[in-house]
Chains A and B, each alone.
Chain A
Amino acid sequence: MSTSEGKMSDLGSSAPWPAGAAARPKVGARTIFFGLLLLVAVTLPFISKNFFIFQTTVVMVYAIAILGLNLLIGVNGQFSLGHGAFYALGAYTAAILMETFGLHYAWTLPIAAALCFVAGFLFGLPALRLEGVYLALATFALAVTTPQLLKLSPFEGFTGGVQGIVITKPGAPFGLPLNSDQWLYFLTLAIGLLLYWLVHNIVHSRTGRAFMAIRDNPIAASSMGVNTSLYKATAFGVSAMITGVAGSLGAIVIQFVAPDSFTFALSVQLLVGLVIGGVGWLPGALIGAVFVVFIPNVAEEISKGLAGACYGVLLILVIYLAPQGADGVIRAAVDRFKRLL
């Protein structure tokens, strides 16, 4: 068995799926980069206008939702066109607990997380029998059903029916010298970092390797002792949990939930963000979220009447220029930079 060194140097580009971060070279530069990014994130709310702070918070909310989707699609290889449903479940859980039951918003997050985990796990069980496009259809059905269920009259007392629920904006606790937008920004940042840490840990653990093994070869994974049913349902549960927490945060930040905010279009937006950021690459979620939140505005500025078409053209352009998402671009840039040195 002879090795050919030459062939192996371009392994990264030959992989159809991006691998876990373990495969990429370890650079001290990365720590510095993320440190600077965090510094910018912490100073940003003190130097920008409230509306921009609000928009950035929404970006982080989407980034968390995309992170959850990435764990399912990128890491575990299960497809979902219906993650908007789990986002909606998280959002409505927070809204109903706050407005109907008068619960403090901080308590709604762990409750929504637990509820979405259970919902995702249970949905993941029947989904075990479905692969590829069939799973996509089943999750599509979930996305289409959700807004209808939220409008149903028997639940109207809780959900507010078509009108939705308006939420009171929480202010900063403990007398912190922050306005409401700044506080919610920091709250979202902190929860986002926590969830990122958790997902990162999972990906680099025995559980995460089992997820990826199932993605790459389910029969071989089973032969290695991986209980594929349990791990696939678990991946669905954790993924739904993270996206659900994003939904709760989104509801609190936007101060409003209504069925038509959670249509199939939301699920597609999350998927767009995932692909733009790079499937399987965790930090890509933030880049994907920036795209999903800001590019529609850019498209509208180009042409009010043809905003949708402009968005489409921009999307095609990005996919054409970066077919592997931000992940591929950054990887290529890092490679080139290294070669220069």
Chain B
Amino acid sequence: MKAAPVEKRVELLFEVGCEEIPAGMLPKAEQELRTNIEKLLIAENLFDGVSVETFGTPRRLVTWVQGLRAKQPDVEVEVTGPPKSVAYDSVGAPTRAAQSFAEKQRVHVSDLYLVETAKGEYLAAKQAKLGRTAEQILVTVLPRAVHDLAWPRSMTWTGLDGARFIRPIRWIVAVLDGRPLKLSVAGIAAGRTTRGHRFLGASAIHVRNFPDYEKKLQQNGVVIRPARRQEKIATELEAHAKRGGYRVHEDASLRMLVAYLNEYPSVIQGDFDPAFLSLPDEILVTVMRDHQKYFAVEKKNGELAPHFLAVINVDKDSKGLIRAGHERVLRARFADAQFFWQSDQKCRLADYLPKLERVTYESRLGSYRDKVERIRGLACWFTEQWFNLGMLHAHVAEADRAAELAKCDLATEMVREFTELQGIVGGLYARAQGESDEIADAVYDHYRPVGLEDPIPRNLTGCAVALADKLDSVVGCFAVGIVPTGSSDPYALRRAALGIVKIILEKKLPISLSLAIGAAAKALLTHKPKRGVAPDQETQILDFILDRAKFVFRERDGFAYEEVNAVFRVGADDLVDAQKRLAALKAIRKSKNFEPLAVSFKRIRNILEKANIASGDARQVNPALLENGAERALYSAVREAAAKVQTHKRAGKYQEALETIAGLRKVVDRFFDGVMVMAENEAVRSNRLALLAELLREFTTVADFSEIGGEERR
């Protein structure tokens, strides 16, 4: 084979220069831009052997494409013309139609040929389609790739007919193989002139290619690669920590954020008055981290140190003015927090309860004052249930008090200023005002868990309040038609449902989900907004929560899809019980008897379905009608095993129960080998079906094996 000629490969530099793009959106935009360009190059048959890299800074989105063919490969295409009947006359000579087709295709009539199509024979011509150059393709592909970026909220900066983007686009650089591309994005013609850092660089820099661009921008105060900026920040944080003898409060997401907030990040240290350390750490860290984007630092013993590390967007602070400015801002913030800490506590936490009247939860579900009443009722209901089930440390009065206080901090100045501290501030105030640890911790923790990794509330009272709050949110929202769809879940109901599941499982709480949903529905009806929940909505809510539970069992606990389905098919109203059954099922699956038995169960289900016998059908077996030995053997084995399984189940020994069931494999196999279920005699047939129905009924109460057994169904 002849070696292919060495094709010329070229590189592209493409930069979209903008006014400051929100830092939080940059990582996704980088990724999306790369995907868009790759997709468009694939569609143009230009992607082979190409690497696309994208980088974002607040003022630019940069693409570097390497190994790009200078031109698409040429391809031969077939163009069909008129049908054979029209193209040739009775003696087989080409007609005018054939001639004009040839002219149009710029080929000789003798080059035309016939092709077989679905509609018959047609005239055809070969056409060489010359590949277009990368330049020709890129001038349309690049603007398109930028245009197709999806932003949470775009804008226009000229007028209604102007371009839309996340922030105004101000310049474009597009250089292919050293030459500028003639294209425009958002009405701005591309060139080869970029801009440096706003304060550290030149305002016009000519660039030839990506390496040249990266080098020149580095000299002009812009580190183009986000990973390099993160490294620079990490190194400087470490250097400050070492010099000061403290530890930086580890915070990967803050590091990422500041890397995207700055084109040339540098770290400076500032100090604050140690007197502020009398405020709780939670408040100090939140002010520094969430409001000022500073890294908090701690001493070796874990206590906060009166310093902070700020990431600035310039290379130095030679006069110390920047440091002084940041210190001043932080001082004012801390002074505010201190002021709130004192003024909020001029009255007691419970005194804020009436003010919750003015804090809306959801317009149709009323204020937080209304929500608190519902949560109180529900938290008490939970604790009462637990106490009656023998959990003697479940205190109704404590749950009631914690629920009463839980939302009070929403009306405090501290939370109105630092909203992310909701719950935490309430807990801190409760403790400072002499509430018991149980109640203060419950208030502090009751928003938890906020995700799969987040811990659940520390104590039982906190769990009761958290469950009540979350369940009320889910039930209330579903009742007024707020149901999460796709990416839209404004009231974070999925998170709430996940929280419910996590708390129940990790605290091993005995709860009937359907009864709990019923209790929440009742609270919604007896308290404001006095709204009923339809039975089908209650079912919908249960399914919604069970979906989250399935997710937890699969993703976190590693149970197989069909195992979870087998257990949930039998019911998962009590999640802790479902978890035990799952564990037993997973264990028994390894035994050699299990899988064949599961297949038999599937077969039984199919037979019953074909005979129109519903699952759970209660027809009785008449022992007198049992004819065959294998049949009688199965009957007595089922009777015997059923009694054992019941005993094991009642003792919560699911694995023993499943082992007993697995032990039936031999008699079941013998039954199917020797007995014809669909016998001629109707009474006999019916009796056999009854036997199978009983078997299925008795032995699918732990898990429905027919969900597991291999190929028979689906």
Report whether chain A binds chain B.
Answer: no
